[in-house]
């Protein structure tokens, strides 16, 4: 007799002691428990020990970057599975000089939070820093180096030190160098930092030691001697201009009152001209140069353009005057005044090759002016170069083949019937349904090598802009396949409207 009544009641399905079909424990009555049936599936099909797969766990390096993946849309494992040396080479060599969409994409890759490949020994982060400096962006290079811990290696410290020299934050780097002198790139850096921190006796001793041991060139010795003893050289002739100065040499020349022009120096030096120590003309030329490569916010350039009235004519002064006249016309709201000044200022922006920056600044205001004729057509083309290109594509000033085709690309729906040139047809093919990336790029994507695939597509676009139409189609298709639809559309529109020839 069971104390629990229902244990003595057999089930109707099998009855006590019956076995369910199947020949195994599934569905069988438990011996000693009449009517109870196991409904779970079998755990295993045999009594053998299960196979165990062992995978070594590798410590994940924290992602380094200034922009979160939520903002860029790129994953932190962007460089996963790629060879670090290949990534470093591609970051250094990919051409973006003429195409703002490619410039923006490269900055996104450089600044997005990402982990280096597992086998990386610092190649990717140093390549990111070097390319930022090459693009003329020492401020983000400094911030990125600080995230990567510039004291972790002499190579990272040197890049951080160079960036601070051009941003004016060398005091921070010098204080670090004072605590960790083994990180010094050379004796000149130690002497400069000792003096910068107010320790002139140590700087003088280091200079004498470097001279006695032959650790520095005669030029650097003479430069540092003037830096430490300016009173002795008040009547001396200026030193010869350096051909390829380092950031430290550039700052030393500035400190002794012999500031060097930056127009013939690498772009990173132009950032130093944005400081108040440079004259207005130097600031304007540096701002145009940096805006041209996408390293400066267009609003900064606009602020410099409108800072004061031009004091002369020709070159940059004509561009300043043209933009100021256009902005005045725009503020009046007069369609006639805008139509009169727009062609002049557009020609000036074309001369400086900063058309997209101009579009970013004024496209929305141009959309509010009821222009007619050629002025309306020009304003519409400018609006297609701005972020709201798709909105502009729905208000064509005239139904020409080129205008309809450009509008269809802005909407991501190419009108093949309006693609009259080989380049237009190649662009349209890149937006066609079912278009797939080139086989080499697709293999990278299949292997999870997203960053390498994007860099490869950027190289294809540069070749396509030179006339290789197959590469152009492949680049646009790749951008779209990885979710960079906006990049694909803007790059195509810039190629058609600006019509420049890129160089690799």
Q: Is residue 154 part of a domain?
A: no
Cα gap 160→144, rounded to integer Å: 9
pLDDT at position 436, please? 95
63 phi and psi angles, rounded to 5 deg = -65, 145
Q: Is residue 302 part of a domain?
A: yes
Q: Is residue 360 part of a domain?
A: yes
Q: Is residue 36 part of a domain?
A: no
Q: Is residue 201 part of a domain?
A: no
Contact yes or no for 95/58 (Cβ under 8 A): no
pLDDT at position 8, please? 57
Residues with pLDDT less than 70, the chain: 1-60, 500-504
Q: Is residue 323 part of a domain?
A: yes
Which of 395, 418, 451 is the last residue in one of the domains?
395
Do 371 and 454 belong together in one domain? no
Q: Is residue 484 part of a domain?
A: yes
Which of 372, 395, 418 is the last residue in one of the domains?
395
pLDDT at position 59, please? 60
Residue that is written with structure tokens 């309006």 in the block: 418
Task: Look up the domain containing 357 and give its range.
Answer: 274-395
Domain count, the chain: 2
Contact yes or no for 260/245 (Cβ under 8 A): yes
Residue that is written with structure tokens 């755990």 in the block: 43
* DSSP state string for 92-126: HH---TT-HHHHHHHHHHHHB-BPPPTT-SSHHHH
Do 283 and 390 belong together in one domain? yes
* DSSP state string for 180-231: -GGG-SSHHHHHHHHHHTT-HHHHHHHHHHHHHHT-S-HHHHHHHHHHH-GG
pLDDT at position 176, please? 97
What per-residue string of b and e applies to 304-333 under the rule 16 or more CB within 10 Å gives b? bbeeeebeeeeebebbbbbbbebbebbeee
pLDDT at position 461, please? 97
Do 433 and 488 belong together in one domain? yes
* Full-model pTM: 0.86
Do 389 and 316 belong together in one domain? yes
Cα gap 215→186, rounded to integer Å: 9
Contact yes or no for 380/397 (Cβ under 8 A): yes
Cα gap 171→212, rounded to integer Å: 28
Do 431 and 501 belong together in one domain? yes
Do 381 and 471 belong together in one domain? no
**Which two structure tokens, joined as six digits, stand for 102?**
């490619």
Do 348 and 427 belong together in one domain? no
Do 437 and 366 belong together in one domain? no
Q: Is residue 281 part of a domain?
A: yes
pLDDT at position 239, please? 93
Tell me, letter by letter, the H, E, C secondary structure of 265-277. CCHHHHHHHHCCC
Do 278 and 391 belong together in one domain? yes
Which of 377, 395, 413 is the last residue in one of the domains?
395
Contact yes or no for 108/72 (Cβ under 8 A): yes
Helix (H) or strand (E) holding 332: helix 316-332
Do 373 and 296 belong together in one domain? yes
**Which two structure tokens, joined as six digits, stand for 252?**
């030393």
Helices 84-93 and 450-466 cross at an angle (nearest 10°) of 30
Do 378 and 403 belong together in one domain? no
Cα gap 62→209, rounded to integer Å: 41
Do 346 and 299 belong together in one domain? yes
């Amino acid at each position: 007799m069971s104390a629990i009544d229902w244990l003595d009641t057999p089930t109707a399905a099998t009855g006590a002691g019956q076995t369910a079909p199947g020949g195994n424990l599934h569905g069988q009555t438990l011996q000693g428990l009449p009517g109870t049936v196991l409904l779970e599936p079998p755990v295993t099909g045999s009594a053998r020990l299960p196979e165990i797969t062992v995978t070594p766990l590798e410590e994940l390096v924290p992602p380094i970057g200034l922009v979160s993946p939520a903002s860029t849309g790129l994953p932190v494992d962007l460089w996963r599975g790629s060879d670090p040396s290949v990534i470093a080479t591609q970051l250094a060599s990919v051409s973006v000089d003429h195409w703002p969409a490619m410039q923006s994409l490269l900055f996104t890759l450089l600044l997005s939070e990402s982990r280096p490949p597992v086998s990386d020994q610092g190649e990717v982060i140093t390549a990111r820093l070097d390319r930022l400096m090459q693009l003329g962006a020492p401020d983000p290079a400094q911030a990125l180096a600080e995230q990567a811990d510039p004291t972790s290696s002499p190579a990272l410290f040197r890049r951080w030190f160079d960036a601070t020299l051009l941003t004016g934050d060398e005091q921070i780097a010098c204080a670090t160098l004072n605590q960790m002198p083994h990180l010094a790139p050379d004796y000149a850096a130690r002497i400069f930092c000792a003096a910068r921190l107010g320790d002139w006796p140590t700087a003088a001793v280091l200079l004498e030691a470097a001279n006695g041991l032959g650790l520095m060139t005669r030029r650097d010795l003479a430069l540092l001697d003037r830096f430490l003893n300016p009173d002795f050289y008040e009547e001396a002739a200026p030193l010869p201009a350096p051909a390829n100065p380092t950031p430290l040499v550039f700052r030393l020349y500035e400190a002794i009152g012999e500031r060097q022009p930056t127009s013939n120096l690498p772009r990173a030096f132009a950032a130093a001209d944005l400081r108040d120590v440079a004259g207005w003309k130097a600031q304007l030329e540096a701002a145009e140069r940096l805006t041209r490569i996408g390293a400066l916010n267009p609003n900064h350039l606009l602020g410099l353009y409108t800072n004061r009235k031009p004091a002369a004519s020709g070159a940059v002064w004509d561009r300043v005057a043209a933009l100021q006249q256009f902005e005045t016309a725009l503020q009046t709201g007069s369609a006639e005044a805008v139509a009169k000044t727009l062609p002049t200022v557009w020609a000036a922006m074309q001369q400086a090759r900063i058309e997209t920056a101009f579009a970013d600044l004024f496209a929305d205001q141009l959309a509010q002016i009821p222009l007619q004729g050629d002025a309306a057509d020009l304003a519409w083309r400018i609006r297609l170069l701005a972020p709201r290109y798709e909105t502009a594509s729905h208000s064509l000033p005239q139904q020409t083949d080129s205008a309809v085709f450009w509008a269809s690309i802005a909407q991501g729906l190419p009108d093949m019937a309006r693609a009259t040139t080989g380049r237009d047809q190649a662009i349209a093919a890149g937006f066609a349904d079912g278009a797939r990336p080139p086989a080499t790029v697709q293999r990278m994507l299949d292997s999870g090598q997203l960053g390498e695939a994007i860099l490869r597509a950027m190289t294809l676009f540069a070749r396509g802009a030179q006339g290789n139409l197959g590469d152009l189609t492949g680049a646009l298709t790749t951008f779209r396949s990885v979710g960079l639809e906006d990049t694909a559309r803007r790059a195509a529109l810039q190629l058609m409207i600006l019509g420049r020839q890129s160089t690799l």
